[in-house]
Amino acid sequence: MGAWRQYGALTAVLGACTAAGLWGFANTGGPLPYAKRFASALQQGARDGSGALLDVGRGVVVAGPIRKQGLVGEYVAVVAVLALVGLATYAYTTRRASDPPRR
């Protein structure tokens, strides 16, 4: 399929989702963290709000439940274990694939 059709279809999908997102953002309280937005929308209903879509000053933070309970160390440990298991399995299979077949 032609590149213009592929990117045209992608643009249409992204455009529709962006428009929906902007509507939802404005109708669920504006710039609220996701968990607060979820709770307030379901308890108080839809309500108007406005604000910046991007708040660079806030930065990237670990999710509230983990941060507030002091579980950041456990979070890092789980990520490390999952990554190590995946990478170790990958290394094992790569090495095994390069071994000559047994007779």
Partner 1 sequence: MAHIHLGDGSFPLWALVLWTTLGGSLVAYVLYRLRTRSVETRHVALAGVAAAASFAVFQLNLPVWGGVHLNLTGLVGILAGPLLGPLVTVVVNVFSAALGHGAVGLLGANTLVNATEALVAFYAFRTLVRANWSPFPAGATAATLGLAAGAFLMGGIVVASGVNGSALPRADLALAVSGMVAVNLGVAVLEGVLTGFVVQFLATVRPDLVGAAADDTTEPSGVAV
- In degrees, rounded to 5, the angle at the alpha carbon of residue 27 between the alpha carbons of residues 42 and 12 is 115
State the DSSP H helix or E strand holding residue 94, giving kind and residue range, or none if neither: helix 72-98
To the nearest 10°, the Cα dihedral for 44, 46, 52, 54? 90
- Tell me the closest approach of the beta carbon of residue 70 to partner 1, in angstroms: 11
20 vs 103, beta carbon nearer partner 1: 20
Give the shortest CB-2-to-partner 1 separation in angstroms.
Answer: 9
Least gap, CB of 103 to partner 1 (angstroms)? 22
Q: 18: helix, coil or strand?
A: helix
Residues that bind partner 1 (CB under 8 A): 1, 3, 6-7, 9-10, 13-14, 16-18, 20-25, 27-35, 37-39, 41-46, 51, 53-66, 69, 71, 74-75, 78-79, 82-83, 85-87, 89-90, 92-94, 96-97
Comparing CB distances to partner 1, the nearer of 17 and 100 is: 17
Nearest approach in angstroms of CB 11 to partner 1 is 9
Please name the amino acid found at residue 76: V
